[in-house]
Structure 1
Amino acid sequence: MLEGVNVALGVTGSIAAVKTVELAHELRRRGAEVRAVMTDSARSIVHPWAVEFATDNDVVTEITGAVEHVELCGRDGWADVFLIAPATANTVGKIANAVDDTPVTTCATTALGADTPVVIAPAMHEPMYDHPGVLEAIDAVAEWGVDFVDPRLEEEKAKIASEEAIVCEVARAAGDRPLEGEHVVVTSGATAESIDPVRVLTNRSSGRMGRAVARACYVRGADVTLVHGVVGPQSLERSAATEIPASVPYADVREVESATEMLAATREACLGDGTGNGTHETGADALVSAAAIGDYTVETSDEKIRSGRDLELEFEPTPKLIDEIRADRPELPIVGFKAETSGDESTMIDRARETLERTDLAFVVANDASVMGADRTKALFVHEKDAARYEGTKAGLAGEIADSLVAILGDDRPD
């Protein structure tokens, strides 16, 4: 996600600075090169040696005659993006007023003047975050084009955002954002059909592929709605204060269970409601249907079915989501997924083309069902006249899908 990206990491005097070492490691795991800048207050919380170890680079703790701020964040400077994580109320206020009395604020002023992208992850006690002056400073700096990673409001604290959220925002800031202004709807996970209040019919999908696609589209600048299937009481990890799934900071998430619920939520997201309240008024610009949606449902028993007796279930087909959305939006670019168990490549291509032609899809990603729940995958990009192989991580496949959407939506844009 951050391959080839140089990140200057500013660390200020919030107690959340204790998370800096792991954040630096995560940035590097995602491919970034990292160099850190620290305030005196931050050095009282985490030792520069620990940050040097985490970044594998010398740490800037003062601005000297070497003009480190210009070398890092100036025009033609080393950094592709300047990330301040954590950022205190004090630091945000100084940045808003061009006060340069720490290495971090001096780098921030330099980056803003040089049009180097800046990302800020605030962390402080919640009453400080709610201070009118702090909120005004955040608004002012955001108007300059700075991207803020919203904190998690828990236990009367504005805690620093998750590493996932910070990494996604850094990748989005450092990239070209070719999907900016586009609304992409992605379905993910498994649906479940209730047999009785205890039992369900479901499948083995983990939702990793769909979440990876949503993340890749967000990094490329899109607004993303993720319609995610969950089974029973299981759901994505949620932030206690916001009710937004903390593990999916890159999308507006709609959690559903049954195939009917997934169709309804996807239809709402694709059509838009005209109010701007929770959905885009004009609906989706593209749909990626990566969820493993159950093909059949049953009549649900109101009471638990007792065990130890013969049981027959009468199956009824569920509506095909992509067929229904195609009827609603004839012009919408839709990417379909087709899972097969045969392992035969020609059969996978033939089945994918049947779906492609039936529903007039942009393309179909055909894969073997054995990859469900795994980090790596094998897939075929099936178009009307050709097919291309992919083998690698699901994140890599998601990037290929997002790049294909860039080309498709770019072709649809007026000159």
Structure 2
Amino acid sequence: MKDVRLQFPILDRLVKDKPLVYLDNAATSQKPLAVIEALSHYYSHYNANIHRGIHTLAEEATAAYEATRYAVQDFIGAASVEEVIFTRGTTEAINLVAYTWGRQNIQAGDEIIISGMEHHSNIVPWQILCAEKSAVLKIIPVSDKGELSVQEYKALLSEKTKLVALVQVSNALGTVNPVKEMIEAAHQVGAKVLIDGAQSAVHLDIDVQQMDCDFFAFSGHKVYGPTGVGVLYGKKELLEAMPVFQGGGEMIKEVSFERTTYNELPYKYEAGTPNIADTIALKAALDFISGIGKEKIRKHEEALLAYATAELSAIPGLEIVGQAKEKVSLVSFNIKGIHPQDIGILLDNLGIAVRTGHHCTQPLMKRFGIPGTVRASFALYNQQEEIDVLVAGLHKTIKMLS
């Protein structure tokens, strides 16, 4: 993958006079030239608002914007482009479902199930909804290895369960959850399922029809695309039955002071001028991934994960948090007697970018009895030599702080 690395200009920069070692990919991935150029090309050649204009620039921008919708359909295996809604990211996508489908369908006494490893964006919207509707939020426990028990999950399901909202890949542990089996179990009791794909979309092959989830959300900036754009997939019959989320231009058919009629899918949920440039550039990111191939990427990342796990495990006092059998290329760890933030600061002085803290999973950190972790997450452009730099940096950090 060294040739691929050349397509990421930021990786050539220095940090604190050291070559950048970027290991914070679970927070956001770096962008290849194809994405950067797609942004520049839009603003330089056909910057215009979309859908309603009849002039050439508007038509070109509309065509490019809608081409991304078709690319997303193919990327996640949706049945039609009508099921692809553009949002600002995974967080907005989850909130959209909570404020529309949730308010329409959740009643007092109903139950929503989430897991103990959810990101705050897949906790807080359901807490708000449950408080508003007098519904009950139930939690799937997390094992010491950082895994979910399907058996314990099934014990929580009942005729009261109306929704299961579940992360496919944990951003804090790297755990890959058995979502297909969990979706099947939820459907057996009549519940709908939302899958948070923020971490999985870049690593795993996604086929929402084969998975049979009712909703799926992911963010552009984690799949080598721009910030500020994401996707909500929903089964067409559910999206059609749901109320609107925001009011304004584009999401309407006709407006009078007496009544308003709403647009067809997917525009029903895309009020106002959207994030045109970043949505167009998202296609370049998806094309970039498809051009390399997820299987090739996955093999490279699995090799990095195996190497990093072995090298980090050999460091005295280092404990890996989250040792699930099925993981993506992410290692969270702590070093005895040293706060994660101190490790992060000293590694940054060596040009090494890792993430420290609770990773927006405070309940999960509480479950493990820790304030947070150091998280090193790997992408297709990372190399084994960078893991060696990380390990050397950790040895230096331990020596400095001991």
Question: TM-score higher than 0.5 here?
Answer: no
| TM-score of the pair, normalised by structure 1 | 0.28
| TM-score of the pair, normalised by structure 2 | 0.29
Structure of larger gyration radius: 1
Structure with bigger helix share is: 2
